[in-house]
Amino acid sequence: MQLTYLEAIRQGIWEEMERDPSVFCLGEDIGIYGGAFKVTDGFIDRFGPERVIDTPIAESAIVGAAFGASLTGMRPVAEFQFMDFIGCAFNQISNMVAKTHYLWGAPAPLVLRGPSGGYVHGGPFHSQNPEMWFVHNPGLKVICPATPYDAKGLIKAAIRDNNPCIFFEHKYLYRRIKGEVPAEDYVVPIGKATIAREGRDISIITYAAMVHSALQAGEVLSKEGIDLEILDLRTVSPLDREAIAQTVKKTNKVIILHEHSRTGGLAGEIAAIINEEAFDDLDGPIVRIAGLDSAIPFSPPQEEHYLPKVSDVVREARHLKGY
């Protein structure tokens, strides 16, 4: 059936709650209101207020409580109203949750999920892509799906995973894209990238909403005889090193595209992986397209300037083709 990105996530969580009584949800306004983006709309009527818990506005308490419950063998799914607010719980995630299995051998099967990303004029506190705060944090799995199929398969995989998973839902995609989602149960493996578009000239390594920008650029460039290959990472930690190396070995030219700020961004890490795995295969410089090194501004013309655009990909690809 055709589902939106948001419906796919909603269905994934719903099915896991039906399947496994140890799964429960907690977060701000997720119950009767159904969440700020309505991801959990209708859940409280079905699963009851015991399993769909409206919490105080206290992100450290939400993460702490989810972690504590996970220690008793529950599988909590905690919602951040916006992923920007995950900073409020940073210590709990970074120092408590992420380190627990390595230090004292306790698994923490929990999911922290919520909307992230720009292109909706949410301003500096409702548009961020804070995934890199956690990529640099061993012990966490960081997931950023781009399609309804992957969103559903990955939220189910995250709920079933025995480790803390941070699940970034791109809010620009929530209701803008639809895709085919099978009715039967399936999961998408965490840590595996996928080829969103096969091509032979230049690889675009990207994820989340930027996959769709890259696909649009691919359409434009195909008319010019430039054939893009688009690698959708799907999981940004752990990274699929093999898939990254493979696409570079195939096309020999690579552009890394992400929404968050350039400095210390994921592109730097991917460039280093390419250096380690496929240096001899490169026929041109590794190109980065990323957000500006500033906060993400509010006003639409400013936000548009801050964020990567389809035209940026087209321009950089044309330039790189010349090598």
Partner 1 sequence: MGTKKTKSKQSSNGNRSRNGAFRSKLNPTDLRAYSIPDLRLEHPDLTVRQAIKKDKDGAEHVRYEVEGNLNAPVPPIRDSKYLDKKQCIEIYRYMLLNRKMEVALENLYKQGKVVGGVYFGLGQEACSCASAYALDQDDWFAPMIRNQGSLLVRGFRASDTMMQYMAKADSPTRGRDGTSHFGDIEKRNMVSPISMLGDLIPVLSGVALGARLQGRNVAVMTYIGDGGQSTGVTYEGINFAAVQNLGLVLFLESNLWAYSTPSEMQYRCKDLAERAIAYGIPGVIVDGTDACQVYDAARDAVERAHRGEGPTLIEAKMMRMKGHAIHDAAAYVPKPMLDFWKKRDPIARFENYLVKEKKWLMPKENAELIAEVERIIEEEREIAVNSPMPTPESAEGGVFCEDGCHEIKPKYGVPKVKRGTGAGPKQTEAAVHLR
| Binding of partner 1 by 92 (CB under 8 A) | yes
39/31 Cα distance (integer angstroms): 10
- In whole angstroms, how close is the CB of 74 to partner 1 at the nearest point? 4
| Binding of partner 1 by 60 (CB under 8 A) | yes
100/67 Cα distance (integer angstroms): 10
Which lies closer to partner 1 via its Cβ, residue 84 or residue 316? 84
Which lies closer to partner 1 via its Cβ, residue 63 or residue 254? 63
The H or E element containing residue 259 is strand 254-261
Q: Stretches 72-80, 194-202, 212-220, 274-282: which one binds partner 1 (CB under 8 A)?
A: 72-80
- Among the listed residues 209, 26, 16, the one whose alpha carbon sits nearest the alpha carbon of residue 131: 209
| Binding of partner 1 by 61 (CB under 8 A) | yes
Site for partner 1 in 126-145 (CB under 8 A): 126, 138-139, 141
| Binding of partner 1 by 241 (CB under 8 A) | no
| Binding of partner 1 by 55 (CB under 8 A) | yes
Q: Stretches 46-54, 128-136, 180-188, 264-272: which one binds partner 1 (CB under 8 A)?
A: 46-54
Site for partner 1 in 168-207 (CB under 8 A): 171, 175
Q: Encoding tokens for residue 299?
A: 């006003």
| Binding of partner 1 by 75 (CB under 8 A) | yes
**Residue 54: CB atoms within 10 Å:** 16
- Among the listed residues 141, 67, 62, 135, the one whose alpha carbon sits nearest the alpha carbon of residue 100: 67
Q: Report residue 9 CA to chain centroid gap.
A: 12
| Binding of partner 1 by 302 (CB under 8 A) | no
| Binding of partner 1 by 71 (CB under 8 A) | yes
The correct pick among 28, 30, 31, 63 for binding partner 1 (CB under 8 A) is 63
Q: Report residue 265 CA to chain centroid gap.
A: 14
22/73 Cα distance (integer angstroms): 7
- Mutual angle of helices 148-160 and 5-19, in 10-degree steps: 30
286/49 Cα distance (integer angstroms): 51
92/166 Cα distance (integer angstroms): 13
| Binding of partner 1 by 106 (CB under 8 A) | yes
Rg from Cα positions in the chain: 19
Which lies closer to partner 1 via its Cβ, residue 21 or residue 264? 21
Site for partner 1 in 7-36 (CB under 8 A): 7, 10-11, 14, 21-22, 24, 34, 36
The correct pick among 16, 28, 31, 64 for binding partner 1 (CB under 8 A) is 64
In DSSP notation, 103-123 reads: HH------EEEEEE-SSS---
- In whole angstroms, how close is the CB of 269 to partner 1 at the nearest point? 17
Active site residue 212: no
CA angle 26, 138, 19 (to 5 degrees): 35
- In whole angstroms, how close is the CB of 22 to partner 1 at the nearest point? 5
- In whole angstroms, how close is the CB of 100 to partner 1 at the nearest point? 7
Q: Which of 126, 212, 258, 260 is catalytic?
A: 126
Residue 254 three-state SS: strand
Q: Encoding tokens for residue 164?
A: 């803390």
Residue 289 three-state SS: strand
| Binding of partner 1 by 50 (CB under 8 A) | yes
Q: Catalogue the active-site residues.
A: 126
**Interface residue list for partner 1 (CB under 8 A):** 7, 10-11, 14, 21-22, 24, 34, 36-38, 41-48, 50-51, 53, 55-56, 58, 60-76, 91-92, 95-96, 99-109, 120-122, 126, 138-139, 141, 162-163, 171, 175
